[in-house]
Structure 1
Amino acid sequence: MLLFVRTAEAGKYKQSPPDGIEPSTLRLTAARSNQLSYGGTSTFLSIIVQIAQYNLISPLQIPESRILVIGLDDAGKTTLTQRILQHMGQPSKTTIMSTVGLETYEFKDKIAKDKSTYKLFDLGGSGRFRSLWEVYASDATHIIIVIDSTDKGRIFVIRDEIQTMITKIKRANQKILVLANKSDLPNAVTHDKIVNACKFDGVLREFQIRGLNCSALQDTDIEAVVDFVKSK
């Protein structure tokens, strides 16, 4: 059964990419008002309204920095994304809602007046979307793994998901940030303890890995995250 995507801009249906085309050659975009249907028949798929549309593009059009924000649901990914946008002079949302599927942002740093181009992917963290992480991670230059540092019961869930993703992605010298979010709360675990408990030093040994604590909600230590995003 073919998957068709109708974009809000084009209003036309396009098939999913043909066999033999590698994900790394594709641009992944999405709009909140995307409508999906199977075989051309409308289907109620509200939980995946932001799944990406695949479009072939020239390598010259690919943004210099491609940032993937991943993590389990309720880890604070979308709040973090909005903070990053704010700190780089971009419009941001005042009302934060959990991402269902995918949100994408393409921009330049208006604060530093940097000519570099950035594309940020805020990818949903519920179970059915985690299989998409590997597709985006293969093309990313920077990967931010957002972990709810107060949710000790699910720290090993994110460990297992990251291990699965790492075995499947194309390695391209990606930089990885392990971010212990919600550090303002009294029961938060620090990033170094999370890295040690999950053995990320071993799992991610082939990548440039860094750890940070932050509170996206309180806008604490976000500048360090932005420095990571801007790192070359």
Structure 2
Amino acid sequence: MPNAPLRILIVDDEPLARERLRTLLADLAPQLPNEVVGEAGNGLQALDCLRERTADVVLADIRMPGMDGIELASHLGRLVQPPALIFTTAYDNYAVQAFDLDAIDYLLKPVRAQRLLAALNKLPARRPEAALIDGLGRQLRGGGRRHLSCHERGRLLLVPVDEILYFRAELKYVTARTVDREYLLDESLTRLESEFAERFVRLHRAVLVARAALAGFEKAAGDDAEAYGWALLRGVPEKLPVSRRQWALARAAAGE
């Protein structure tokens, strides 16, 4: 529908900041018809909102508790209908140099009406590169993402990284295992190893394990072609293969 209003989701942990954006959008409505379809206090709440309704654009702060705006950006791109993203923040040292402003805009608080209008008129925008998102996220929070996402039966599921026992590469996908279940991720094992190097250690060309999940090791039988040894895990009965090359490194990571 060419005359349909622009659907906007506002994401900010400060109620006054959300209220200001609502007021600005109402003032801009004669020039750019828009509808605020929801508000959220962080990235987790934003993704919950987007499960119930669609948005054309998300206006998101960067520093927020629970899930910040940078991590939210990495999950938005996995939605069936990903909205464009515009950052609205008090900090001028994150996205200005990291993102091409023709692709995604970056508004400093206090946001001005005409600057917001100019940003909204750039839509639709391209998504930023995942590598830029991850790099900026590590600068912001001093580490990798707190959640990974996967599609299951048409839904976007979030998997807390601190609950993952191991990653295992299988064909085109990576399986993430928690105590309760497995999740199929559209991720690269190499990228996961780089992003979470402090939390996970490589056991095998196809396996990364959480250092905290390692319970011990045992040597494989001499005729076992699959592994040089096996890693024992806390919380699950499975054993993970350890290659000869990684044997000493894995045991050192477990403090043996």
TM-score bracket relative to the smaller structure = 0.3 to 0.5
**TM-score, normalised relative to structure 2:** 0.36
**TM-score, normalised relative to structure 1:** 0.39
Query: Which structure exhibits the higher relative contact order, with contacts defined as CA atoms closer than 8 Å and separated by 6 or more residues?
Result: 1
